[in-house]
Structure 1
Amino acid sequence: MHSTKSKSIDKKVPLWLWLLGLMTAIGPLTIDMYLPSFPAISADLQVPQHRVELTVSTYLLGLALSQLFYGPIADRYGRKKPLLGGLMIYMLATIGCALASSVEYLLFFRCIQACGAAAAMVIPRAVIRDQLNTRDSAMAMSMMMLIMGVAPILAPLMGGYLSPVTGWRGLFAVMLFYSAIMFFLAIFRLRETMPPEKAVPLHLRTIAKNYASLLRDRNYMGFSLAGGIGMSGLFAYISVSPTVFINMYGVPQQHFGLFFGLNAFGLIVGSQIGARLLRVHSPLGILRTALTCGCLSILIGLGLALAGMLNLTLLTLTLLGFTTSLGFILPNATALALRDQGHRLGVASALMGCLQFLFGTLSSSIVSSSLADSPVPLFVGLAICTLLALLCGKVLAKPADRYFGG
């Protein structure tokens, strides 16, 4: 399966891409499944709910920093071995989360859990780019979002209905079971995609040089930040969504997943329409249009919130516009950022993921700490994220060729 980038995915989704999508779904599954259980965790561990919300920020921070280590390792030892190692770490940490006797232990094991899950974030992007060109990579990542998007829909629904039966600890057992299936599928169904001759020596100087070069690459940073800062808005929304929907708008805990899932459905719809648009439009054009639309949707929501007119229906619709735009933004921003990074795909994918989750940690922490009895802080945070993403995608990134689709 060593690639010459001659494969095409125009006609059907290959098995290896389905598998990568299922593995990447570990990320949203781990974040979203236990969200409806925040009140139960708070009561069980006898801490305020805002302390429990910190487990989201801790997970995102661990996910951000640990990706920087997987990048160089994947460029040296290939894609499969680091992925299996990461999944093993994830499974062990998930057991620790299920057995945590205090919020401090839960925070610790959530951080370790993120260190394992990071492998499932970095490596699939590199595997796709190993085999496909920019346009097909954008299509592949859009197709992966069909799978990834199902996780945020099903995870809170499952969490809401299972938690009263199994308790919040049982939800971590479900995560363990899913990751074990992915581990064995990776062993038997995923092959190595990095040619041995492309291995990069694991020297600190080489690693530092590669990361420094990426930070100076205007197009790479522009597209990475456009996707990363946009994604950070999604993390801010995820971290406070139980408080907003359940506490502020009175949505029953068992119905929370329906409202949360509707916004995840927007991510799926956007990514699938985007994949079809790639047949006639360039990734760059789709990205910049989607950045503008996402920003407008949030600004409308902010105006309604400030005017005191943001009811549950309008809240859901404005957030739906934002998440739908992300379905167009994320696949194209990722493919464009990795376009010229074939000689260092591991570190390029890792730095991109690190930026996404660092901004996600920052935004979720700020929004969570500033949220009181109004959704205005959420929409202020989302407005800042979407405006910055728009500037990065339209101003910082300056591709030489207008089409930029090859």
Structure 2
Amino acid sequence: MADTQYLATRKTATVGLLLMLTMLGVFPIDVVLPSFPALSEHFERPSPDIALSVSLFAVGIALSQLLVGPLSDAMGRKNLLLIGIIVSAFGAIGCVLANDYWFFLLFRVIQAVGCGCFVLSQALIQDLFTGQEQQRLRIFLVTCGGIFISVSPLAGTGLQSWMGWRGSFLVFIALAVSVFLSASLLLKPLPADSQPRRPDFIASYRKVCSDFNFMAYWLTSALAFSCHFSFIVISPLVFIDQLQLSAKAFSLTLLGYGLAYIGGGALATVLSNRIDPQTQILTGLCLILTAGVLMLGLSSHLGLSVTTLLLPMIVCTAGTTIARAAAHTRAMNIFPEQAGTSASAGSVLIFIIGGLTSAALSLTPLDLQTTLALCLILLSFLGLGLNGLLRHRHRALATG
């Protein structure tokens, strides 16, 4: 009985660690946005130059993740994760101390390279949990990840008013130290940690990326994520520039949207116990399609308002949560022995698709609400078509 209680306690603590890794993976990107004016004043640079730090941060994470996955499969998760946390904290410390713009950019990239290790949360789920536990945990982390992204601007506003632009970096350092201590105590070395081997990056990625099912499931997740991420990217343009909301009202609006992820997560949990993952993916994509059609109808009949934009996005949130969690599980189960490489390949794909989609949306000369609605419809149709092709291939293999 005591052993059972100990294992349950340890498992709960491990879930808490994974939650912290998820938060640190998204926290440094959006939380600094409200500090752009202060950073611009401090470094005496225009806002576009400050925005470059966000772009470089995203590029740094993407490049880092490409290395982290295969390295973790060959050398082990724990040590690589601890090294990444140290590097990210060092980069954040450099940002706090920087008085020169170019040094700030350098340390921001160093922070991003360290943050690439947080992609290992997906690999750790594959290593430490089995069966339905993996599915439920991925639903939970996808839900929390969406909440963290939505809440980050509000947290950034509070930290900016409390501690200035350095506040978000100081909080990141404190969180990184706590995660480092937790990971040191909770994670046990896996076989790869004690028997490291030389990683073969090209062979590792060739193996996973040449599998159609693997790429199709990760692409499905990327399409679903792009719906959420595109809304986050254009939200300041719509709520602040067009609807003239204050910064505080804008942050509270995103907070309400973030809370909708809780409902989406609860619905995904219920469905995961009643229908198979493939049907969950289709259900999620159909909800995204419904959200796009609803937004298009509301936009044409009632015009732009907080309600006509936020209500369809709440429906979209439920679909995104359901589809991404199920797609993650299907993709990660294809190559369980290469969980690190699988997680990195999928995360980079999500980053590329989400970035390109949101960039195209933000640069469009058309009405943003209508364009977002059409984007949801298009992405959901692409996902449905891709999964229709998956089902056809599965049936052909079963009958062949």
Q: Distance in 1 between matches of 2:150 and 2:295?
A: 22
The one of 252, 261, 274 aligned to 1:258: 252
Q: Distance in 2 between matches of 1:198 and 1:345?
A: 17
The one of 335, 344, 347 aligned to 1:353: 347
1:237 pairs with 2:231: yes
1:393 pairs with 2:393: no
- Map 1:85-104 onto structure 2 (within 5 A): 85-101=83-99
For residues 379 and 37 of structure 1, do their structure 2 counterparts lie closer, same or farther at Cα, with a shift above 3 Å needed?
A: farther
Q: Distance in 1 between matches of 2:393 and 2:196?
A: 27
8 A Cα contact 2:302 2:308, kept in partner: no
Q: Distance in 1 between matches of 2:103 and 2:293?
A: 39
For residues 352 and 293 of structure 1, do their structure 2 counterparts lie closer, same or farther at Cα, with a shift above 3 Å needed?
A: same
Per-residue CA deviations over 1:92-140 (Å, capped at 9, x if unaligned) read: 122233345566555544333222112112x111111123345331111
- Map 1:253-292 onto structure 2 (within 5 A): 253-292=247-286
1:161 pairs with 2:158: yes
For residues 100 and 399 of structure 1, do their structure 2 counterparts lie closer, same or farther at Cα, with a shift above 3 Å needed?
A: farther
8 A Cα contact 2:77 2:193, kept in partner: no
Per-residue CA deviations over 1:64-88 (Å, capped at 9, x if unaligned) read: 2221101111111111011111111
> Quick one: which amino acid aligns to residue 173 of structure 1?
L
1:179 pairs with 2:176: yes
For residues 305 and 112 of structure 1, do their structure 2 counterparts lie closer, same or farther at Cα, with a shift above 3 Å needed?
A: farther
Corresponding residue number in structure 2 for 1:32? 30
For residues 127 and 373 of structure 1, do their structure 2 counterparts lie closer, same or farther at Cα, with a shift above 3 Å needed?
A: same
SS in 2 for 1:26: helix
> Quick one: which amino acid aligns to residue 339 of structure 1?
N
8 A Cα contact 2:257 2:314, kept in partner: yes
1:22 pairs with 2:16: no
Q: Distance in 2 between matches of 1:305 and 1:104?
A: 44
The one of 324, 327, 335 aligned to 1:333: 327
Q: Distance in 2 between matches of 1:356 and 1:124?
A: 15
The one of 61, 64, 83 aligned to 2:81: 83
Per-residue CA deviations over 1:217-247 (Å, capped at 9, x if unaligned) read: 1111111100022213333332332332222
8 A Cα contact 2:66 2:348, kept in partner: yes
8 A Cα contact 1:302 1:383, kept in partner: no
SS in 2 for 1:168: coil
| TM-score of the aligned structures, taking structure 1 as reference length | 0.85
Q: Distance in 2 between matches of 1:12 and 1:132?
A: 12
Structure 2 spans left out of the alignment, 5+ residues:
1-6
SS in 2 for 1:329: helix
Q: CA deviation at 1:156?
A: 2.4
SS in 2 for 1:25: helix
Q: Distance in 2 between matches of 1:15 and 1:166?
A: 30
1:320 pairs with 2:314: yes
- Map 1:102-117 onto structure 2 (within 5 A): 106-117=104-115
For residues 161 and 102 of structure 1, do their structure 2 counterparts lie closer, same or farther at Cα, with a shift above 3 Å needed?
A: same
8 A Cα contact 1:242 1:256, kept in partner: yes
Answer with 366-375 or 29-38: which moved more: 366-375
SS in 2 for 1:297: helix
Q: Distance in 1 between matches of 2:116 and 2:260?
A: 25
- Map 1:160-239 onto structure 2 (within 5 A): 160-192=157-189, 194-196=190-192, 201-204=197-200, 207-239=201-233
Higher helix share: 2
| TM-score of the aligned structures, taking structure 2 as reference length | 0.86
SS in 2 for 1:263: helix
For residues 115 and 382 of structure 1, do their structure 2 counterparts lie closer, same or farther at Cα, with a shift above 3 Å needed?
A: farther
Q: Distance in 2 between matches of 1:163 and 1:73?
A: 37
Ranges of 4+ aligned residues in structure 1 off by more than 6 Å: 197-200
Answer with 49-58 or 218-227: which moved more: 49-58
For residues 386 and 105 of structure 1, do their structure 2 counterparts lie closer, same or farther at Cα, with a shift above 3 Å needed?
A: farther
Corresponding residue number in structure 1 for 2:58? 60
8 A Cα contact 1:25 1:148, kept in partner: yes
> Quick one: which amino acid aligns to residue 333 of structure 1?
A
> Quick one: which amino acid aligns to residue 21 of structure 1?
L
8 A Cα contact 1:134 1:336, kept in partner: no
SS in 2 for 1:191: coil
SS in 2 for 1:360: helix
SS in 2 for 1:96: helix
SS in 1 for 2:394: coil
Q: Distance in 2 between matches of 1:12 and 1:89?
A: 27
Q: Distance in 2 between matches of 1:399 and 1:137?
A: 25
Q: CA deviation at 1:380?
A: 4.6
Structure 1 spans left out of the alignment, 5+ residues:
1-7
For residues 296 and 177 of structure 1, do their structure 2 counterparts lie closer, same or farther at Cα, with a shift above 3 Å needed?
A: same
For residues 358 and 146 of structure 1, do their structure 2 counterparts lie closer, same or farther at Cα, with a shift above 3 Å needed?
A: closer
Identity of aligned residues (%): 27
Higher Cα Rg, which structure: 2
SS in 1 for 2:248: helix
For residues 166 and 182 of structure 1, do their structure 2 counterparts lie closer, same or farther at Cα, with a shift above 3 Å needed?
A: same
For residues 247 and 15 of structure 1, do their structure 2 counterparts lie closer, same or farther at Cα, with a shift above 3 Å needed?
A: same
8 A Cα contact 2:125 2:134, kept in partner: yes
Per-residue CA deviations over 1:244-265 (Å, capped at 9, x if unaligned) read: 2222222211232221122222
Q: Distance in 2 between matches of 1:12 and 1:82?
A: 21
1:311 pairs with 2:305: yes
